[in-house]
Structure 1
């Protein structure tokens, strides 16, 4: 909920040409990361590592099946499907996307 509210606030501010209306954070992520790194040292770190060593001892890697063998070198080659919509349907979809405040692409992706 927090992420959605803040994203919406930032979006509306950006859309209307204003600066961010969000309050500055009392602590930055880098501060938290430093605190966490200092906390997880010595015996705390050793306890955490030994816990997971014990829990994962003897567990083999999970090999999930795939729908086909993946090539060793990936490519961006693919295929496309073209189709045409009737003008009335196209206009209706554009109307719905405007009512919902989304692009036609996002509407069709959601559908």
Structure 2
């Protein structure tokens, strides 16, 4: 298999596009997580005997912990894709460098 500089450049571009797409998806997942208002069901103060075992009313919207699962899974998946794209960029860079060394 012959490797030329244009195929290395194409791989480099694909790797960079993968990095950018993963970064955008990571940001989207992080924003989704940040929008969720998750808090414990009980905020009783154990030092205050009048509040023991009582849930405190909250002005904040309580979301199900299930709502955070999908963004967390996507966050992890995009982290792996980002790392794979970074490896592609690294390999393409090394290959392109080797080709330039051979031609020089």
Same topology, TM > 0.5: no
Which structure is higher in RCO with an 8 Å CA cutoff and minimum separation 6? 2
Answer 1 or 2: which has greater helix percent.
Answer: 2
Q: For the superposition of Structure 1 and Structure 2, which TM-score range results when normalised by the shorter chain?
A: under 0.3
